[in-house]
Amino acid sequence: MLIGRRRLRLTETERDAMRAAGRFNAQLMDFLRQNIGLGVTTAEIDQLVFDYTLSHGHKPAPLNYQGFPKSCCTSVNDVICHGIPGPYRLKDGDIVNVDVTTIVDGWFGDQSETFLIGKVSKAARRVTQCSFECLWAAIDNLRPGSPVSAIGEAIVRHARKYNYSVVEEYVGHGVGRAFHQKPNVPHVPNAQSRRDRLEPGICFTIEPMINTGSRLTVLDERDGWTVTTKDGGLSAQFEHTVLMTEKGPEVLTLTQHGPQKGHRF
C-alpha cells in the first residue's frame, strides 16, 4: 500500500507535465465556451472537441474509453453525467454540462462546466450556482495533508444551505498518467476518504454533481452510459483538476477566461 501511495506523489518534472495537460484542457474549454449556445447540437460540441484537440496534436480521452463512443460528455438538464453527444439541439432554458478530458504527452487533464442556454428557470440557475460554489468550497477547504473527506465535508455543508442533494454513485478521482486512479474522491465523506490524505504531489479531480431533488440516479440500460436523476429533477456539475503542493491546492484547469471563484451565474 505504501508503494502504491508513493507512486501517486509526483516529482517536480511530473507536476509540470500535469500543469501542461491541465492548461491545454482549459484552453479547449475556453474555445468551447465561445461556441456553445442556443441551437447548437451536442454532436457539434463533440466535433469541436475532437477537431481542436487533434489539431493541437493531442487526444480526447473519452473516445473509446471503456467503449464510450464520443470525445466528450454532454449532460443536459436531468442528465447528471456521461451524456453522449448526439442530434439533440440546445434550446432556450436548458442547462448543459460539458466534460472534457485530454491526453497531453501521456498526461490527463479533466474538467467540466455547466452552461446556461438562453433564459433559464430560477432552479436551473440556482443549481448551477450551487454546484460551482460547492467545487470552490471544497478547494478552499484543502491544505497539504488534508484528508480527502475534507472535500465531501465542504460540499455536503454547502449543498445543505440550498436544500439540494449530492450524488454519491459517481465521484472525483486521482488523475495523472491514467484517466482514473486512486484516490477516490467522493463528494460525501466516507470511511476510506477519512483515511486517504492529500499529500503534496497528489493530483486529483473534484466534480460535485448537485441535484435539485433526490440524490438518486438511474443508468440508461440502452446506451450503458447516460446517468439521469431518478425523480427527473435538474442536476449541475463543475469539475477541476487540482494538484496538491507544499503550499496548498493548485487548480490546473483554470484560465483567466473561465468563471473564477466567486462568479455569479
Residue 228 site contact among Co ion, ligand MF3, none (CB < 5 to 8 Å, cut-off depends on kind): none
* Whole-number Å distance between alpha carbons of 143 and 244: 8
CA-only gyration radius of the chain, Å? 17
Longest dimension (CA), the chain: 52
Phi/psi at 148 (nearest 5 deg)? Answer: -55, -30
65 binds, among ligand MF3, Co ion, none (CB under 5 to 8 A by kind): ligand MF3
Q: How far apart are CB 204 and ligand MF3 at their closest, in Å?
A: 11
Report, in Å, the least distance between residue 13 CB and ligand MF3: 25
Restricting to residues 74-103, name those near Co ion by CB under 5 A.
99
CA distance 74 to 182: 25
**Closer of 52 and 213 to Co ion (Cβ):** 52
Question: Of the ranges 3-11, 44-52, 65-73, 243-251, which one interacts with ligand MF3 (CB under 6 A)?
Answer: 65-73
Least distance from ligand MF3 to the Cβ atom of residue 40, Å: 20
99 is a site residue for ligand MF3 (CB under 6 A) = yes
Whichever of 110 and 113 has its CB closer to Co ion, that residue is 110
Q: Choose between 21 and 120: whose C-beta lies nearer to ligand MF3.
A: 21
Provide CB contacts within 8 A for 137, sequence distance 6+.
154, 155, 157, 158
Residue number with CB closer to Co ion (231 or 250):
250
Strand, helix or coil for residue 116: strand
Cα–Cα distance for residue pair 238/251, rounded to 1 Å: 13
Place of cell 487533434: 54
Task: Give least dist CB 72 to ligand MF3, A.
Answer: 7
Residue nearest to ligand MF3 (CB): 62
Q: Please tell me whether residue 46 binds ligand MF3 under the rule CB under 6 A.
A: no
State the minimum distance, in angstroms, from the CB of residue 234 to ligand MF3: 19
Distances (CA, A) of 133 to 69, 89, 167: 31, 28, 15
Q: Residues near 170 by Cβ (< 8 Å), separated by ≥ 6? A: 80, 81, 82, 209, 217, 227
Looking at beta carbons only, is 120 or 237 nearer to ligand MF3? 237
Cα separation, 154 vs 265, in Å, equals 21
**From the list 46, 113, 133, 239, which residue makes contact with ligand MF3 (rule: CB under 6 A)?**
239
113 touches ligand MF3 (CB under 6 A):
no
Q: Quick one: which segment of 13-21, 61-69, 131-139, 244-252 binds ligand MF3 (CB under 6 A)?
A: 61-69
**Distance from C-alpha of 82 to C-alpha of 47, rounded to nearest angstrom:** 16
One of 58, 82, 187, 215 touching ligand MF3 (CB under 6 A): 82
Q: Which residues pair with 101 in a beta bridge?
A: 110
Residues engaged in binding ligand MF3 (CB under 6 A): 62, 65-66, 68, 73, 82, 99, 101, 110, 205, 207, 239
